């Protein structure tokens, strides 16, 4: 039974998109017959091989249901009870996870304002202090997001400087990679080049935003930095009994180049949208468009007019800043129709 209009399109979130047909087919293939539960299945074993191909021989994947669960569980596994996390103020763990790092994970977050969602060693130092002070939660983990919540992408050099600085301070480096594939497509680099090879210790590998159906993974890159993950995944309610259906999706995405094709297409659609509206009187852009998100500021009243046909969110309503997200299934026609509507709405307000 179909309850929605399949022709409806939007730019609100890459979570609005459906599931890629190849991923749906992988779920169907995994559905035949019986397989062992709780990760003792051939699909989860195959996922380990795929992850090692991307991230190196020490990498290990821990499939979970969602990004919040992956972030909270992963951070718990690298921190003692007295540990704290330094992150950007715009980070998903700080803004969009309903307090789960604090309420469920028992983690103190030290958030740092950034102009573009990206941390630097100097910015980290604004909160990475008080080591040995019993009155202060110890800043023992750095969490970075790639690509960031503001649609920007760290370079290899920026990440290397951050991880080196964090490790010198005795901090473990966590990377929220909900849109890691979009960053890879933007940089034109293999995944390991800006994760394993720059010193990231543990990361969240995204699937849901890139064509999967509720499939993410915690990927351990440095086993020496991670403790008790096998228990933390269970007590955080992220251990799937029928794990083969999560693993099969990630295998479908990452065993070939589907992950990169999907992300590259989403990035290209965002670039197309930016180019179509660049120079339109009344529009300014708050951030560079480096992945699959466009952050724009519109004249008064324009957003509400356009939202009558296309869904999207305000990012900062106080300055009329909106966020437009493109997905693996966003089409050129979607972009062109949307850009024309925005242009028309602005012209009608002048």
207-249 tens-digit pLDDT: 999 999 999 999 999 999 999 999 999 999 999 999 999 999 9
Q: Decide if pLDDT at 350 tops 90.
A: no
DSSP annotation of 12 reads: S
CATH architecture of 258-349: Alpha-Beta Complex (3.90)
159-186 tens-digit pLDDT: 999 999 999 999 999 999 999 999 999 9
pLDDT at 349: 81
By C-alpha distance, which of 24, 3, 47, 5 is closest to 255?
A: 47
pLDDT at 269: 98
pLDDT at 176: 98
**Average pLDDT of the residues of the chain:** 97
283-318 tens-digit pLDDT: 999 999 999 999 999 999 999 999 999 999 999 999
Cβ distance 118 to 161 under 8 Å? no
Phi/psi at 193 (5° precision)? -65, -25
pLDDT > 70 fraction of the chain, expressed in percent and rounded: 100
pLDDT at 10: 93
By C-alpha distance, which of 345, 341, 350, 347 is closest to 302?
A: 345
CATH architecture of 21-254: 3-Layer(aba) Sandwich (3.40)
pLDDT at 252: 98
Supply the DSSP string of 28-74, one letter for each residue. Answer: HHHTSS---STT-SHHHHHHHHHHHHHH-TT-EEEEES-HHHHHHHH
- 269's CB contacts (< 8 A; 6+ apart) are 292, 326, 327, 330, 331, 332, 334, 335
> Domain ranges in the chain?
21-254, 258-349
**CA 59 – CA 189 distance, rounded (Å):** 18
Q: Report long-range pairs for 182-185 (Cβ below 8 Å, ≥24 apart).
A: 182/147, 182/153, 182/210, 182/263, 182/266, 182/267, 182/291, 182/292, 183/146, 183/147, 183/153, 183/154, 183/291, 184/260, 184/263, 185/260, 185/263, 185/264, 185/266, 185/267, 185/291
**CA 199 – CA 179 distance, rounded (Å):** 19
Predicted TM-score of the model (pTM): 0.97
68-126 tens-digit pLDDT: 999 999 999 999 999 999 999 999 999 999 999 999 999 999 999 999 999 999 999 99
């Amino acid at each position: 039974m179909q309850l929605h209009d399949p022709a409806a399109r939007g730019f609100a979130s890459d979570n609005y998109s459906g599931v890629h047909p190849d991923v749906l087919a992988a779920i169907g293939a995994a559905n035949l017959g019986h397989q062992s539960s709780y990760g003792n299945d051939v699909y989860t074993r195959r996922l380990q091989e795929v992850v090692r191909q991307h991230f190196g021989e020490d990498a290990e994947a821990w499939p979970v249901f969602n990004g919040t669960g992956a972030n909270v569980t992963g951070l718990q596994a690298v921190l003692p009870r007295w540990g704290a996390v330094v992150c950007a103020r715009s980070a998903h763990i700080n803004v969009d996870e309903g307090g789960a790092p604090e309420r469920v994970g028992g983690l103190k977050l030290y958030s740092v304002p950034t102009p573009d969602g990206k941390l630097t060693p100097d910015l980290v130092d604004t909160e990475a202090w008080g080591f040995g002070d019993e009155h202060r939660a110890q800043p023992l983990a750095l969490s970075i997001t790639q690509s960031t919540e503001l649609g920007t992408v760290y370079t290899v050099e920026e990440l290397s400087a951050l991880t080196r600085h964090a490790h010198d301070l005795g901090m473990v480096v966590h990377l929220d990679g909900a849109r890691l594939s979009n960053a890879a497509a933007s940089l034109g680099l293999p995944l390991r080049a800006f994760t394993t090879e720059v010193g990231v210790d543990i990361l969240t590998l995204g699937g849901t935003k890139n064509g999967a159906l509720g499939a993410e993974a915690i990927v351990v890159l440095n086993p020496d930095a991670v403790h008790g993950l096998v228990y933390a995944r269970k007590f955080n309610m992220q251990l799937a009994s029928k794990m083969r259906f999560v693993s099969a999706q990630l295998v479908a995405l990452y065993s070939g180049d589907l992950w990169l094709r999907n992300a590259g297409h989403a990035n290209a659609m965002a670039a197309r949208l930016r180019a179509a509206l660049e120079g339109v009187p009344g529009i300014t852009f708050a951030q560079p468009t480096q992945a699959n998100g466009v952050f724009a500021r519109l004249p008064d009243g324009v957003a509400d007019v356009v939202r009558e046909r296309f869904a999207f969110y305000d990012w900062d309503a106080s300055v009329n800043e909106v966020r437009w997200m493109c997905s693996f299934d966003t089409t050129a026609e979607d972009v062109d129709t949307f850009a024309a509507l925005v242009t028309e709405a602005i012209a009608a307000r002048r």
